[in-house]
Amino acid sequence: MKNITKDNLTDTVKSSFRRIDDERTRHLVNRLVHHLHAFATETQLSHEEWREGIAFLHRAAEISSPSRSEFTLMSDVLGLSSLVDLLAARPGATEGSVLGPFHTRGSPWMTSGANLIKNNPGQAVLIRGRVTDVQGQPLTQASIDFWQNADNGMYWQMDDSQPQDNLRCQIQVLSDGSFELATLRPQPYLVPTDGPVGELLGVSHRDAWRPAHFHIIVEAPGYRSLITEVFDDADPWVDKDAVFGVRASLVRPFKPESDAATAARLGLPEHYLVVDLPIRLAIQD
Ligand SMILES: [Fe+2]
């Protein structure tokens, strides 16, 4: 019989996981136990506080669904998602940012130059970009998964007034790595506050606003996939993102332009905004 004490408990628990076959998983579980126990010891966690923590997780599970992950949002507002993004950064590559809860696989495939505006109200924007490696060589096989919210601040998944797949698409870049996309100026929005994460923000007197942004995932064979966001530099919330996703390099000007030939070619109004978006991918490790 092993006599479990405060002094041998942590090592005993760690040891109980020593037969996990995968080395990396074994290491992660070991360090998770280590830091969880250190947290409880350092804070002298009480029974009541432990029960409230468990109840918080229960409430997160209850409000989660296939289209809403309260746990992802929890990770976001705690800065964990951004930390993982920053740890994954590679020199010279475009910086990553949070995936957010509104990415859905299987967006419709369109070609470069597609126009997503359709019947949506809002300010027209032309995104002009090029996908290259960190030396600036075009990645001709790159593809882009794009999604954003509508002028009312909502993504199509949360808004019955929007058609399915509104303001999202996948495109393949052209033979020089370039792409164009006609869309709308995105809007700032509130992260959901009707769950336990909202309670946490409330008691912390924290804002739930996210600054206006586009979401993109960029992939190319042999290169590290990039999950990131592009922010509107005119948005006042850009300095106070509830999920810590803003990086200076991802904040872009939305510049007014009115080139008649471009407008005609892409189905844009006479006056539109342009966002230039160079994207650099790091080679796969
Ligand atoms: Fe978003």
pLDDT score recorded for residue 103: 86
Distance between CA atoms of 100 and 274, rounded to whole angstroms? 24
pLDDT score recorded for residue 212: 97
pLDDT score recorded for residue 231: 98
Strand-pairing partners, residue 118, are: none
Q: How many CB atoms lie within 10 A of CB 223?
A: 21
Distance between CA atoms of 182 and 200, rounded to whole angstroms? 38
Domain residue ranges in the chain: 1-45, 80-281
Contact by Cβ (8 Å): 200, 77 = yes
pLDDT score recorded for residue 1: 76
Ligand 1 centroid – CA 229 distance (Å): 8
pLDDT score recorded for residue 100: 85
Distance between CA atoms of 251 and 253, rounded to whole angstroms? 7
Specify the CATH number of the domain 80-281.
2.60.130.10
Q: What is the mean pLDDT of each run of 10 residues along the chain (285 residues)?
A: 93 98 98 98 98 98 88 95 93 94 90 96 97 98 98 92 96 97 97 96 97 98 97 95 96 98 97 98 94
Ligand 1 centroid – CA 277 distance (Å): 18
Ligand 1 centroid – CA 7 distance (Å): 46
Distance between CA atoms of 257 and 230, rounded to whole angstroms? 19
